[in-house]
């Protein structure tokens, strides 16, 4: 492939007319309006549980040079003894100017937006056609895996979409410096991605860059050694997640495989790749090939997700990003035809229909939807009064409903109802919960929250400060037994 042929192909967008010039801006507008904005509306209405929005909000609130591995009272673990995601240091400055929750939400949107930047840069350099750019950006931002990730804020695994695209574009252009930068950013998002780095080294070796491949392999191995050997020695015991890969093994190999290949999981896998089907059919008909060496990087991510049965929430966004980069060489050679664009757009729409129904109701029926966290003015006023009291009294332990903990994570000693704190006999000075059916009682059932509220009302010396139709707030000495 010569640079001349690529440039000529990338500039030949005349069959698209005015539609082609609007396709890429339309993708960004649809993503912002239908994917990002509704999630922010729900966050403002206290719709999300402490896991994971509250965890990373608390991390951003506490992370500092004075306390580089802060204790997260809601999660009951030091930050980097759980996942090792130092990419949070890049986001921490946003929390100087914004409340930590909004800093995290903005960062998540920016990381996904920046995932499109290398593709747009290729188009600006004349290396990718307008239609191909719009198609790939749409697959990165609007695939059901990415939209699901946005609806489960916030997590650095979602943010990894950006360094995956950066690393992949650098790989295809043989920009070694940019590739190393992308890999370091990728590894900083979550410890699992260093296994992907090993596969990047394999891909480099397969195309003849053996010396550079050795360097990438050593970088990946050094990161894995630091995470799994040095980190426990330096920081103390770490939170392990390997048991999720073996869940169900005790029942036998057939049952173990049956769980992972159940219709529910197979349906989910099929939905995730369905939007790529028109592109795959066109490439097959045109005898175009993906970069098979690059696609090896998918193996660790797919293996982990298959064994852990993790095909929802934030887990799939980085898989989508790496897969998109795998088809980049074909689209640099040939501009995708209109039928590929149209059918891909239709599949992105249909696979996201459950998300879109949720979105439209969030925006246009805000007073009643979602049912657990409607934008009712009286509910929001009660929540605001309760949170103001908790924030104004930083002394003592505070037990809050999971969806109410996030806004007060700057406060010390905040705990989640039903959270991982050691025993039900822990004594709390403050309790603040929403009354079912509002709020998010997870991991408890709504009737358990009702029982807790009934017991707190009768606690000796309890000062009930709010007990209206929406919120219960009290000061005294309370436990979480019902």
**Mean pLDDT of all residues in the chain?**
93
- For residue 415, the cross-strand partners are 399
Residues 71 and 122 in one domain: yes
Cβ atoms of 56 and 88 closer than 8 Å: yes
Residues 384 and 336 in one domain: no
Per-residue pLDDT of 433-443, as tens digits, reads: 999 999 988 89
Query: Is 189 contained in some domain?
Result: yes
The whole-number average pLDDT for the span 288-306 is 97
Cβ atoms of 476 and 463 closer than 8 Å: yes
Residues 239 and 382 in one domain: no
Cβ atoms of 355 and 148 closer than 8 Å: yes
Residues 31 and 108 in one domain: yes
| pLDDT bracket for residue 366 (50, 70, 90) | confident
Residues 130 and 81 in one domain: yes
Lowest mean pLDDT among 97-106, 130-139, 264-273, 384-393: 264-273
DSSP one-letter code for 336: P
Residues 6 or more apart whose CB falls under 8 angstroms from that of 224 comprise 191, 194, 195
Q: Give me the DSSP letters along 25-37.
A: HHHHHHIIIIIIH
The more confidently predicted of residues 275 and 21 is 275
Structurally, how many domains does the chain consist of? 2
Cα separation, 425 vs 4, in Å, equals 72
Cα separation, 147 vs 104, in Å, equals 17
Cβ atoms of 170 and 373 closer than 8 Å: no
Choose among 314, 296, 313, 315: nearest CA to 304. Answer: 315
Ramachandran angles phi, psi of 199, nearest 5° = -75, -30
Choose among 240, 260, 261, 239: nearest CA to 248. Answer: 260
Query: Is 369 contained in some domain?
Result: no
Q: What's this model's pTM, rounded to 2 decimal places?
A: 0.94
Angle at which helices 193-206 and 176-187 pack, to 10 degrees? 160
- Provide the token pair at 66: 């004075």
Cα separation, 480 vs 482, in Å, equals 7
CA 172 to chain CA centroid, nearest Å: 26
Residues 343 and 384 in one domain: no
Cα separation, 116 vs 114, in Å, equals 5
Query: Is 214 contained in some domain?
Result: yes
pLDDT at 20: 60
Cβ atoms of 167 and 324 closer than 8 Å: no
Per-residue pLDDT of 151-179, as tens digits, reads: 999 999 999 999 999 999 999 999 999 99
Residues 416 and 276 in one domain: no
Query: Is 368 contained in some domain?
Result: no
Cβ atoms of 472 and 435 closer than 8 Å: yes
Cα separation, 158 vs 117, in Å, equals 16
Give SS3 for 46: coil
| pLDDT bracket for residue 18 (50, 70, 90) | low
Residues 339 and 414 in one domain: no
Cα separation, 470 vs 57, in Å, equals 24
Ramachandran angles phi, psi of 476, nearest 5° = 160, -135
pLDDT at 61: 96
The whole-number average pLDDT for the span 2-22 is 49
Cα separation, 271 vs 269, in Å, equals 5
Angle at 192 between CA 187 and CA 194, to 5 degrees: 45
Residues 346 and 268 in one domain: yes
Exposure letters 1-15 (e unless 16+ CB within 10 A, then b): eeeeebeebbeebee
Cα separation, 461 vs 459, in Å, equals 6
208: region left, alpha or beta (phi > 0 left; psi from -120 to 50 alpha): left
Neighbours of 186 (CB within 10 A): 27
Query: Is 298 contained in some domain?
Result: yes
Cα separation, 282 vs 49, in Å, equals 42
| pLDDT bracket for residue 33 (50, 70, 90) | very high
Largest interatomic CA distance in the chain? 82
| pLDDT bracket for residue 21 (50, 70, 90) | confident
Per-residue pLDDT of 85-110, as tens digits, reads: 999 999 999 999 999 999 999 999 99
- Provide the token pair at 109: 């949107």
Per-residue pLDDT of 163-221, as tens digits, reads: 999 999 999 999 999 999 999 999 999 999 999 999 999 999 999 999 999 999 999 99
Domain ends where: 313, 331, 363? 363
Cα separation, 246 vs 256, in Å, equals 8
Cβ atoms of 430 and 474 closer than 8 Å: yes
| pLDDT bracket for residue 57 (50, 70, 90) | very high
CA 202 to chain CA centroid, nearest Å: 27
Query: Is 412 contained in some domain?
Result: yes
pLDDT at 423: 67
Residues 81 and 142 in one domain: yes
DSSP one-letter code for 93: T
The more confidently predicted of residues 159 and 19 is 159
Give SS3 for 5: helix
Its domain, for residue 165, covers 3-363
Query: Is 370 contained in some domain?
Result: no
Flag whether pLDDT at 6 surpasses 60. Answer: no
Residues 214 and 78 in one domain: yes
Residues 115 and 246 in one domain: yes
Give SS3 for 434: strand
Domain ends where: 336, 363, 390? 363
Cβ atoms of 99 and 107 closer than 8 Å: no
Query: Is 372 contained in some domain?
Result: no
Domain ends where: 341, 363, 385? 363
- Using a pLDDT cut of 70, give the percent of the chain over it: 95
The H or E element spanning position 317 is helix 317-326
């Amino acid at each position: 492939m010569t640079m001349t042929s690529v440039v000529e192909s990338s500039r030949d967008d005349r069959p698209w007319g005015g539609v082609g010039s609007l396709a890429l801006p339309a993708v960004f507008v649809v993503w912002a309006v239908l994917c990002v904005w509704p999630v922010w509306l729900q966050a403002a209405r206290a719709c999300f549980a402490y896991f994971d929005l509250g965890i990373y909000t608390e991390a951003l609130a506490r992370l500092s040079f004075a306390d580089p591995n802060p204790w997260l009272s809601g999660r009951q673990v030091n930050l980097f003894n759980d996942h090792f995601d130092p990419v949070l240091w890049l986001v921490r400055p946003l929390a100087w100017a914004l409340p930590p929750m909004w800093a995290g939400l903005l960062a998540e949107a920016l990381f996904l937006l920046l995932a499109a930047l290398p593709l747009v840069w290729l188009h600006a350099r004349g290396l990718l056609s307008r239609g191909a750019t719009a198609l790939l950006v749409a697959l990165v931002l609007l695939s059901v895996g990415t939209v699901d990730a946005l609806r489960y804020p916030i997590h650095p695994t979602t943010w990894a979409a950006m360094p995956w695209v950066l690393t992949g574009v650098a790989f295809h252009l043989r920009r070694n410096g940019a590739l190393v930068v992308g890999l370091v950013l990728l590894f900083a998002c979550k410890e699992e991605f260093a296994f992907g780095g090993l596969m990047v080294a394999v891909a480099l070796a397969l195309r003849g860059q053996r010396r550079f491949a050795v360097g990438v392999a050593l970088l990946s191995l050094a990161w894995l050694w630091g995470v799994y050997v040095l980190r426990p020695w330096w920081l103390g015991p770490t939170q392990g997640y390997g048991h999720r890969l073996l869940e169900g093994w005790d029942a036998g190999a057939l049952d173990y495989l049956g769980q992972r290949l159940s219709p529910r999981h197979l349906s989910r896998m099929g939905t995730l790749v369905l939007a790529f089907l028109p592109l795959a059919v066109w490439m097959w008909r045109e005898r175009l090939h993906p970069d098979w060496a690059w696609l090896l990087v998918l193996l660790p991510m797919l293996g982990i997700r298959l064994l852990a049965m993790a095909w929802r929430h934030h887990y799939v966004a980085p898989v989508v990003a790496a897969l998109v980069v795998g088809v980049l060489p074909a689209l640099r050679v040939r501009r995708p035809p209109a039928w590929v664009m149209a059918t891909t757009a239709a599949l992105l729409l249909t696979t996201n229909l459950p998300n879109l129904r949720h979105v439209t109701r969030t925006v246009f029926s805000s007073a009643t939807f979602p049912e657990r966290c409607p934008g009712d003015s009286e509910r929001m006023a009660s929540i605001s009064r309760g949170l103001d009291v908790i924030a104004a009294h930083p002394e003592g332990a505070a037990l809050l409903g999971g969806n109410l903990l996030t806004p007060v994570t700057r406060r010390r000693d905040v705990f989640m109802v039903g959270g991982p704190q050691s025993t039900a006999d822990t004594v709390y000075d403050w309790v603040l919960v929403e009354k079912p059916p509002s709020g998010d009682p997870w991991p408890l059932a709504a009737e358990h929250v009702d029982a807790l509220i009934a017991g707190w009302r009768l606690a000796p010396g309890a000062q009930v400060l709010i007990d209206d139709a929406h919120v219960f707030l009290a000061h005294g000495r309370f436990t979480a037994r019902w």
